[in-house]
Amino acid sequence: MSRNNIWVHLTIALTLVLIAALVGGVRHWRRGPQRSSQPVSRPEPTPDSQENDADEQDDADKAEVLVRFRPGTTREAIDRIVAQFHDQVEDRIESVDGLDVIEDEDGKSAADVVAQYRALAEVEYAEANSEITLDHEDTGAKHVHANDEMFSRQWGLANNGANGGKAGADIRAMWAWAVTKGSDQIVVAVIDSGVDYTHPDLVRNIWTRPEIIKAYRDDDLTSAEGIDDVHGLNLVDDDGDPMDTNGHGTHCAGIIGAEGGNGFGIAGVNWSVKIMPLRFMDSDGAGTTRDAIEAVNYVIDRKRAGVNVRVISASWGSTARSRALEDVIRKAYDEGILFVAAAGNASTDNDQTPHYPSSYNLGNMVSVAALNRNDQLASFSNYGAKSVNVAAPGEEILSTWLDHGFSEKKGTSMATPFVAGVAALILSQNPKMSVDDLRAKLLKSVDPIDSLKGKVSSGGRINAAKAVGAE
């Protein structure tokens, strides 16, 4: 090797070392939530693996959570708790009493660390840190990246073009979240097969009847004392337990409001919301028109009793028209409740062959078609230039399922809760918005899509960011 060659090789070697150092540094600096694509449970690491993991962990892999301790918890007590959990206080948010940024030091996931702190009486709340970045187009608009483990598979919320999809063919949820992630003051009724209200990604966003609201009474269904509708109603068995035995309602509920930013599972359109489960379909996924009417009637009753239920998500239907169902949905309109309904899966034109309830021409009705991950109308989706209003993601949709699991499903059933979820996001900003304005806001904030011209009345896919004023 000549002297010149030695210098060339040395220069190359030094450059490579510098690049490696820079890459490592950037990774270290970009401390953000870590995601994986598959896990559906929260496995407890063994003591051995914890030790090994911790040894190998760099800062980028460490879970980071925001914990607010209750007033009266001393600094010493906080430090003791943090030390017991083998964590460390990374930062203190001085403007908010008791709010600390805590970093895990023993290899636990963000979800586990959050759960650990939430279990303590001294803790008011604990939540996983989220990454907020400037968008790639450098427009200055901010977006929020969910740290939920399977978020990368939720193309309907954030489509990066993976798996043959089209980048940007999504509802722009991350941009909307920079403005609002929802509110636990907004109640969305999911009239369906019930909801697994114990699912770990839903349990914190399930509606519970406040003590000041009296138990539900319906002389046709209940005893004189009423039904203990603690979380909703079960019209199949005429009781107060709306537990899902099919999975469909749990799936729809997760799209609307699986807890976001908890480092676990998926993110809902709303990170925070209250889901009111109603069960009128059985374990086969079918129910009677009468029970559907009773379910809407229940929602109206609860609204009148003081529950802030403003949206009904209805991922069901048939081609049989019922004047009684139409009447009760009209009554919901009078009460200021939006009714979001699936357009149907027969690949047919609802203007020619109506599908109900979505084809009722009512002021609170939003009929929803389904899109695939390429912004194309899904092959199964019904459409209708006059009678179907908007489209939303409805193929390969990952959401919560029975047995505390997750599953991918397709149908206008899945598109519907995306729209109901965006309606709830809008209401989280403006709780007093009228149902007419809410419907108009949803329809006017769509992204126009070529494949939807002449197929839906708005001509577009819902856009959560536009709907909440983030774009």
Per the annotation, the verdict on 112 as an active-site residue is no
Q: Work out how close the CB of 286 gets to other proteins at its nearest, in angstroms, rounded to a whole number.
A: 4
Q: Work out how close the CB of 245 gets to other proteins at its nearest, in angstroms, rounded to a whole number.
A: 10
* Catalytic choice (170, 192, 196, 447): 192
Cα–Cα separations (whole angstroms), residue 184 to 307, 313, 356, 429: 12, 17, 30, 12
Q: Do residues 357 and 318 make contact, with C-beta atoms less than 8 angstroms apart? A: no
Q: Which residues bind other proteins (CB under 8 A)?
A: 192-193, 246, 248, 251, 280-281, 283-290, 292, 315-320, 322, 342-346, 380, 409-414, 416
* Catalytic choice (199, 231, 248, 251): 248
Closer to other proteins by Cβ: residue 107 or 156: 156
* Catalytic choice (193, 413, 428, 458): 413
Closer to other proteins by Cβ: residue 252 or 338: 252
Closest listed residue to residue 64, CA positions, set 120, 105, 23:
105
Task: Give the containing element (helix H, strand E) for 367.
Answer: strand 365-371
Residues in the chain, overall count? 471
Burial annotation 249-266 (CB, 10 A radius, 16+ → b, else e): bbbbbbbbbbbbbbbbbb
Sign of CA dihedral 409, 413, 416, 420: negative
Q: Work out how close the CB of 287 gets to other proteins at its nearest, in angstroms, rounded to a whole number.
A: 5
DSSP summary character for residue 408: E
Gap between the Cα atoms of 62 and 79, Å rounded: 19
The residue whose two tokens read 């399930």 is 206
Closest listed residue to residue 469, CA positions, set 197, 243, 178, 36:
178
Residue 79 has a CB neighbour count (10 Å cut-off) of 13
Per the annotation, the verdict on 351 as an active-site residue is no
Closer to other proteins by Cβ: residue 110 or 278: 278
346 alpha-carbon distance from chain centroid: 27
Closer to other proteins by Cβ: residue 116 or 345: 345
Q: Work out how close the CB of 258 gets to other proteins at its nearest, in angstroms, rounded to a whole number.
A: 17
Per the annotation, the verdict on 130 as an active-site residue is no
Q: Work out how close the CB of 444 gets to other proteins at its nearest, in angstroms, rounded to a whole number.
A: 25
Q: Do residues 184 and 196 make contact, with C-beta atoms less than 8 angstroms apart? A: no
Q: Work out how close the CB of 347 gets to other proteins at its nearest, in angstroms, rounded to a whole number.
A: 8
Closer to other proteins by Cβ: residue 315 or 364: 315
Which backbone phi and psi does 269 adopt, to 5 degrees?
-55, -40
Closer to other proteins by Cβ: residue 333 or 380: 380
Active-site residues, by number, are 192, 248, 413
